Amino acid sequence: MIYWSIFLAFFIPGILGYGGGPASIPLVEKEVVDRYGWMTTQEFGEVLAIGNALPGPIATKMAGYIGYMEGGVLGSAVALFATIAPSLLLMLVLMVTLLKYKDSPQVKNITKLIRPVIAVLLGAMTVQFFITSTESSGAVQTIILTIISFWMLEVKKVHPAFVILLAIVYGGVAGLI
């Protein structure tokens, strides 16, 4: 049943993504692209790009949209529920206990130890994106776009939404020629 798959696809990243929404991006990709095959890496990239260009939490934007694509309004609701509810409910229920332990070294170690794992997942995803781009746009285009967007984002600190918009315009023009 599709709703159960949608629930699982977002529930797992929701309970494993230590480090906020961005940490769950590679976990979502693993489920949505690798496991269920709902979209290709490039399509996932589009969703991520539009998601990054829009304001608001990234995890729920991705869940809401992908859920909608796979199961309509109900699918969207299921995906959002699976993303939000587990950790929020835990937080509300365990509030008193958690407040007591929030400074304990074990609890602090959780995020610390899981961070490198998330970094590896993000790194693997990065490589995958560059491979996809090389396959579809060619190596030269990819290198040029990479250097320009890195320069704009990191050196000039241009707003991501603007950089994505520029890339879209560039792609459109290049496609017309």
Partner 1 sequence: MVGNKERKSAEASSLKVNANIFAAFFRIGLLGFGGGPSAIPLFHIEAVKKYKWMTDDEFGDTLALANTMPGPIATKMAGYIGYRINGVIGCLVALFASVMPTVLMMILLLGILQKYKGVEWVNSMSQAVVPVVGVMLAVLTWDFLKKSGQSLGWLRAIILTVLAVILMEVLSIHPAFLIVALLIFVFIPSKKGGEAP
Site for partner 1 in 20-39 (CB under 8 A): 20-27, 30
User: Minimum Å distance from CB 158 to partner 1?
Assistant: 11
User: Minimum Å distance from CB 97 to partner 1?
Assistant: 10
User: Minimum Å distance from CB 130 to partner 1?
Assistant: 5
Between 2 and 50, name the residue whose CB sits nearer to partner 1: 50
Residues 79-138 that bind partner 1 (CB under 8 A): 80, 83-84, 86-88, 90-92, 95, 98-99, 101-103, 105-126, 129-130, 132-133, 136-137
Between 2 and 60, name the residue whose CB sits nearer to partner 1: 60
Residue 79 contacts residue 64 (beta carbons within 8 Å): yes
Residue 33: CB atoms within 10 A of its CB come to 19
Residue 65 contacts residue 52 (beta carbons within 8 Å): no
Residues 147-166 that bind partner 1 (CB under 8 A): 149-150, 153-154, 159-161, 163-164
* Listed residue (161, 167, 172) closest to 55, CA to CA: 161
Among 1, 37, 55, 140, binds partner 1 (CB under 8 A): 55
3-state secondary structure labels for all residues of 69-82: HHHHHHHHHHHHHH
Q: What is the DSSP letter of 18?
A: T
Task: Please tell me the chain's helix, strand, coil percentages from 3-state DSSP, rounded to the nearest 5.
Answer: 85, 0, 15
Residue 74: CB atoms within 10 A of its CB come to 13
Among 6, 7, 9, 14, binds partner 1 (CB under 8 A): 14
1 forms part of the interface with partner 1 (CB under 8 A): no
